[in-house]
Chains A and B, each alone.
Chain A
Amino acid sequence: MDVLYFAWVRERIGLPREKVETSAATVGDLVAELRAREARYDAAFSDLTALRVAVDQELSDFDAPLSGAREVAFFPPMTGG
């Protein structure tokens, strides 16, 4: 699936998007897999209360299932307007 990062999450991880091969059942499982990869991922995901997630471009939750999802995005709380 495509995993996208925005704002300081993108800066901390060092890339805007990547393809991830995963069998993670939920968003939380995917986060655990990413954190286990490298320190920069671990740092970016260290406080989930500071993060929001969208699954297939819809705001979602960290316990949401990932079955069939094509695109998951992680970002800080939005600051539009």
Chain B
Amino acid sequence: MDIRVQEAPFDLGREASAFAARQTGMGAIVTFTGIVRDLGGTLDHMQIEHYPGMTEKALRAIAEDAHARWDLGGSLVIHRHGRLGPDDMIMMVATSSRHRKDAFEAAMFLMDYLKSRAPFWKKEVAADAEGWVAARDEDEDALRDWQR
């Protein structure tokens, strides 16, 4: 498990290649990347706040859960905070497994849980308005699906 919380950008290709190079005997690697969207066409930037200390612990606990549930070789979570512009990469996860199903499901699980259980908060800032992004009911529903 490799957990990184950082303000700096990351290089998706380099991180994916480095992750792949650390795996042995794995038949599948899945990566997911989250991008800042400008839904209304007015976004100037997004400000991501987090809870230093708890963030790393929460991400590690989520990754440990994923490793307990699926047959994983490795996992990587990178999540940025601070100021991000439209189309900037916010975060990425990578999972490896001997089988693609485990790699895909574990990546989905990591995404669903870090959306609602890792202490990050997004604020959207436009030229004349700003507001905190509200959590969505669907995000909680997704967690319930994993608990069945």
Contacts and interface: CB of A to CB of B under 8 A. Distances in A.
Partners in one complex: yes
Interface of A: 4, 6-8, 10, 54, 57-59, 73, 75-81
10 contacts: A4-B51, A10-B49, A58-B54, A58-B57, A76-B121, A76-B132, A78-B117, A78-B118, A79-B132, A81-B34
Contact of A6 (B53, B57, B115, B121): B121
A4 B121 CA distance: 14
Contact of A73 (B51, B117, B120): B51
B83 interface: no
Contacts of B51: 4, 6, 54, 57, 73, 75
A45 B94 CA distance: 38
A7 B57 contact: no
Interface string B58-72: 100000000000000
